[in-house]
Amino acid sequence: MCPATMGAEHDGDNTSAFQEKLPFDASSEEPSNFFASSHDPLWHSIAFGTVSGTSAVVIGHPLDSIKVRLQTNQTQHLFRNLFRGIIPPLVAVVPAWSAVFFAYGATLKLLGRHDLPAVAVAGTVAGSAYSLIVCPLELVKVHAQRHQVSSLAALRNVHRSLGWRGLYRGLSACMLRDTSASITYYMVAEALNRHEGFKERFGSAAPLAAGAITGVSHCAIEFPFDTVKTRFQTLHHGPGTTYRQIIHGITQSAMDRGRLSLALVPVLFRAVIAHSASFYAVQVLKEAIGSD
């Protein structure tokens, strides 16, 4: 055998050995997405958004009511009427969550790939879309939760004091909250559900475990922005009020900091329960439509 042939064989062996060490080589299958990939039809994204959004809202709303009352210092009758204000988020589930997941899936299709950097870009687009849709609905929701009135009564009060244009009060805080939280949500969800070691460790419970970790991660990022947004929407109607004034008031008050620490407890508890349930619902739907 000539040296050139021997060298080629050795090069081939080295290439094969190198490829075996790579987590994803050119000939291997792409990692399995948990949510939609760049190849999936967009109706998959809409279906995932509807199912995950509905389950998260219904399961998480009572704990969300406790969180809002602690955030806004309305602690009297803390555990009463916990489903007050559920109509706006339920009404928003189909248009908001479906639109968000549609924006996420459409961005991946536009990019033509679904690696984690692409997931981060798609998460940013999805978070921005969510803010535009949900900001007025959340303003009505937090008023209904804080004052323990119906959603219709809260809408009337908001319109009386702020006008229709006032429904987008707090939009910039919503944008900061939702883009940062959305990037975290999709990145953590996909990283965990693509990780073979994670799936082997948790088996059939992997979506539940991934949902719990994703929920805690994204809610921890979301909570500071959400607190400022909620205060801005419910406590201060003066035209000259600024976010800086609200942040200053929170940081200077020991009582506020204590209440916000308490508010974080139902937030994280809700995150574990609601996102575990929503991830499980998505997994069931994926199996039903053959998306895996």
Q: What is the pLDDT of residue 12?
A: 47
Q: What is the pLDDT of residue 261?
A: 78
Q: What is the pLDDT of residue 245?
A: 82
Considering only 24-38, 79-93, 235-249, which range has the smallest mean pLDDT?
24-38
Give the contacts of 77 (CB within 8 A, at least 6 positions apart): 148
Comparing CA positions, the residue from 226, 70, 244 lying closest to residue 138 is 226
Q: Name the more confident of 102 and 33.
A: 102
Q: pTM (2 decimals)? A: 0.75
Q: What's the Cα-to-Cα distance from 287 to each of 47, 72, 108, 199, 257, rounded to whole Å?
A: 13, 42, 22, 16, 44
CA–CA gap between residue 250 and residue 94 (Å, rounded): 34
Over the chain, what is the mean pLDDT? 82
Comparing CA positions, the residue from 236, 137, 132, 220 lying closest to residue 184 is 220
Q: What is the pLDDT of residue 73?
A: 76
> Is residue 157 pLDDT above 70, yes or no?
yes
> Is residue 140 pLDDT above 70, yes or no?
yes
> Is residue 14 pLDDT above 50, yes or no?
no
> Is residue 143 pLDDT above 70, yes or no?
yes
Q: Give residue 94's pLDDT band: very low, low, confident or very high (50, 70, 90).
A: low
Return the SS3 of 8: helix
Q: What is the pLDDT of residue 241?
A: 74
DSSP per residue, 15-73:
HHHHHHHSSS-TTSPPPPPSS--TTS-HHHHHHHHHHHHHHHHHHHHHHHHHHHHHHTT
Q: Render pLDDT for 170-208 as a digit per residue (tens, 0 to 9).
A: 899 999 999 999 999 999 999 999 999 999 999 999 999
Q: Give residue 123's pLDDT band: very low, low, confident or very high (50, 70, 90).
A: very high
Q: What is the pLDDT of residue 265?
A: 85
Q: Name the more confident of 55 and 14.
A: 55
Give start and end residues of each alpha helix (H) in the chain. 3-21, 42-71, 87-92, 98-111, 116-147, 151-162, 171-194, 196-202, 206-234, 243-252, 254-289
| Length of the chain in terms of residues written | 292
Considering only 22-36, 79-93, 235-249, which range has the smallest mean pLDDT?
22-36
Share of the chain above pLDDT 90, in %: 36
Q: Give residue 30's pLDDT band: very low, low, confident or very high (50, 70, 90).
A: low
Q: Render pLDDT for 214-253 as a digit per residue (tens, 0 to 9).
A: 999 999 999 889 888 888 888 655 556 788 888 887 777 7
CA–CA gap between residue 36 and residue 45 (Å, rounded): 6
Q: Give residue 93's pLDDT band: very low, low, confident or very high (50, 70, 90).
A: low
* Maximum Cα interatomic distance, the chain, rounded to a whole number of Å: 91
Q: What is the pLDDT of residue 22?
A: 36
CA–CA gap between residue 120 and residue 104 (Å, rounded): 10
CA–CA gap between residue 121 and residue 179 (Å, rounded): 10
Q: Give residue 41's pLDDT band: very low, low, confident or very high (50, 70, 90).
A: very high
